[in-house]
Amino acid sequence: QVKLVESGGDLVPAGGSLRLSCAASGMTFHLKVMAWYHQAPGKGRDLVAFVDTHGNANYEEYLNDRFRISRDNAKNMVYLEMSDLKPEDTGVYYCNSFSRGYPWGQGTQVTVSS
């Protein structure tokens, strides 16, 4: 049974930084392209970044190099390092495969105050 558990969210001031973590289990993790998604209040769940099985990363253009996604295949973990946070980054962050093929975890709340 696949399980995704996100953590690391917090309330931070604008310009602050956070590191989100996602622990994955029940899948052949090292074979999966993994991604982080952002759900702003009242909005849908949007792709933020994804990392392929070799660690190559891709980001949504609006991020302007503020976020960095990485993975540790030995630990079945995906990370999202967030810097220069803005109020519009507020929301719940989820990890999943790039194809969104697994049951969603509970997410982790990021709140950026202005």
pLDDT at 8 over 90: yes
8's tokens: 């690391």
User: Could you give the CA distance from residue 44 to residue 29 in angstroms, rounded to a whole number?
Assistant: 25
Confidence (pLDDT) at 105: 97
How does pLDDT run across 84-111, given as a tens digit for each residue? 999 999 999 999 999 988 999 999 999 9
How does pLDDT run across 23-69, given as a tens digit for each residue? 999 999 999 999 999 999 999 999 999 999 999 999 998 888 999 99
- Find, among 73, 67, 72, 75, the residue nearest to 37 by Cα: 67
- Find, among 18, 56, 37, the residue nearest to 100 by Cα: 37
CB neighbour list of residue 96: distance below 8 Å, 6 or more residues apart: 4, 34, 35, 37, 102, 104
Confidence (pLDDT) at 101: 86
User: Could you give the CA distance from residue 80 to residue 98 in angstroms, rounded to a whole number?
Assistant: 15
Confidence (pLDDT) at 62: 85
